[in-house]
């Protein structure tokens, strides 16, 4: 038996809306929820031996390790009794733990190239007898949102289904493949060539998009599968159906994620103030000496343009210089004058010194962006609503940042972060306008 989830307008999906087919009454649903004490576990499979893209699961996508996108949606949803990452690799384990997941260290038997997802899920179920419902979520689906998980899981918790999986609607005409060296003729699989339908006259077909597969323990253990018995599908809109296994053009995937990805409950709507380290972010950290003994710094014109872009959008940019840095204060002040920015000199505990300034400006740290490049910056990176480091920053700083630039310090990293801030501001503005439209229609 199968049912479906109807998808309404894009704005309905963005607000977690949509109509359930055959949904029980609210009273019945409440009774069902009160009785359902099953342990529901989110499980993300992240093997270290990807052949297509090495260590793909922790490769940085739009400033976040790939697996971090789905883990953020899982943790923020608040739906799961436990969240697990199944892996055989130390680096993946470190990233997963930093994102709030427990680790299932999979055995060598299910870590082979020939191992299937079902093999690993069955091992997980066997080793975790308290788990009743397994929500297998693909690490390669970075546009997953909490509302997708909530609505799909309700098929199992509220409506009594044994399994549910994600699909996307495609309008592709399919033809039979002809093997080379044969006399076979191709033929249409899903259309009549003499009466080709227009897109608007054809419902299309539902295809698995790989985002998730939810199943009960009994189905996995007794039937040896993750789809079956009373099964439902959950239809996701195409913009959320990004699968890196298919869409291996990483820059294209990044643009989709930046527009449609889930950035967390605490993602700030508007950045009003940005702190940016001069050394290691705005510059490459080196000081140049001329023949007369004078000191010089190299500033990338792209970074210069990025700062001016933020200033035009009403973001105050303050440059940060450390008293422990070899860059002289005279040079730092010269850079600030050239960019039209005030320069702040901080010591060993920059957060303590910057806190007072943020408070003085009557701002919250959610309104602040911080770009740093070293261990001293970790507290500021954690505190700021948006934070970033260049690609060549030390590991400690990278782990503390919310965005990891593709470019190195002094090579355009500041411009890249500035564009990221601007994009998030526009997303927030678009959502606010949509909310106003929705309110007027009540």
Catalytic residues: 196
Contact 102, 290 (CB under 8 A): no
The separation between the first and the last C-alpha atoms of the chain, rounded to the nearest angstrom, is 37
- State the Cα–Cα distance between residues 349 and 319, nearest whole angstrom: 16
- What's the rounded Cα separation, in Å, for the pair 317 and 308? 9
Task: Using alpha carbons, select from 232, 240, 257, 238 the residue that is nearest to residue 199.
Answer: 238
- Per DSSP, the residues of 61-106 read ETTEEHHHHHHHHHHHHT--SEEEEEES-HHHHHHHHHTT-EEEE-
Residues β-bridged to residue 289 = 295
CB 344 within 8 A of CB 355: no
404 with 421: CB under 8 angstroms? no
Distances (CA, A) of 109 to 114, 120, 128: 10, 9, 17
Q: Is the distance from CB of 174 to CB of 188 less than 8 angstroms?
A: yes
Distance of CA 415 to the CA centre of its chain: 21
State the Cα–Cα distance between residues 407 and 414, nearest whole angstrom. Answer: 9
Nearest to 396 by CA among 414, 381, 417: 381
């Amino acid at each position: 038996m199968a049912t479906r989830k109807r998808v309404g307008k894009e704005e309905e999906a963005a607000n977690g809306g949509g109509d359930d087919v055959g949904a029980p009454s609210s009273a019945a649903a409440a009774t069902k929820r009160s009785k359902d004490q099953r342990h529901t576990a989110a499980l993300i499979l992240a093997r270290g031996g990807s052949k297509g893209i090495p260590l793909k699961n922790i490769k940085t996508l739009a400033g976040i390790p790939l697996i971090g996108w789905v883990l953020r949606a899982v943790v923020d949803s608040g739906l799961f009794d436990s969240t697990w990452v199944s892996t055989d690799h130390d680096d993946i384990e470190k990233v997963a733990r930093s994102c709030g997941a427990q680790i299932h260290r999979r055995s060598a038997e299910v870590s082979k190239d020939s191992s299937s997802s079902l093999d690993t899920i069955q091992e997980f179920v066997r080793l975790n007898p308290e788990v009743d419902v397994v929500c297998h979520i693909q690490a390669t689906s970075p546009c997953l949102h909490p509302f997708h998980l909530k609505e799909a899981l309700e098929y199992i918790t509220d409506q009594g289904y044994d399994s549910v999986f994600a699909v996307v609607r495609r309008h592709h005409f399919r033809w039979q493949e002809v093997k080379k060296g044969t006399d076979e003729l191709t033929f249409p699989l899903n259309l009549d060539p003499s009466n080709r339908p227009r897109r608007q006259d054809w419902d299309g077909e539902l295809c698995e998009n790989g985002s998730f597969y939810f199943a009960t323990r009994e189905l996995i253990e007794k039937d040896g599968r993750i789809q079956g018995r009373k099964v439902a599908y959950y239809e996701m809109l195409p913009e959320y159906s990004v699968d890196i296994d298919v869409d291996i053009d990483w820059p294209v995937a990044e643009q989709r994620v930046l527009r449609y990805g889930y950035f967390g409950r605490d993602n700030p709507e508007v950045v009003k103030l940005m702190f940016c380290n001069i050394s290691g972010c705005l510059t490459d950290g080196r000081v140049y000496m001329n023949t007369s003994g004078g000191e010089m710094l190299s500033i990338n014109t792209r970074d210069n343009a990025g700062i001016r872009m933020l200033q035009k959008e009403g973001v105050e940019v303050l440059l940060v210089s450390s008293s422990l840095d070899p860059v002289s204060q005279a040079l730092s002040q010269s850079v600030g004058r050239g960019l039209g920015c005030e320069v702040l000199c901080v010591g060993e505990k920059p957060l303590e010194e910057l806190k007072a300034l943020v408070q003085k400006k009557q701002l919250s740290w959610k309104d602040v962006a911080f770009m740093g490049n070293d261990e001293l910056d970790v507290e500021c990176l954690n505190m700021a609503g948006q934070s970033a480091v260049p690609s060549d920053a030390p590991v400690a700083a990278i782990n503390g940042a919310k965005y990891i630039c593709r470019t190195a310090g002094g090579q355009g990293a500041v411009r890249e972060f500035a564009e990221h801030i601007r994009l998030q501001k526009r997303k927030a503005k678009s959502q606010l306008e949509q909310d106003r439209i929705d309110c007027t229609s009540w």
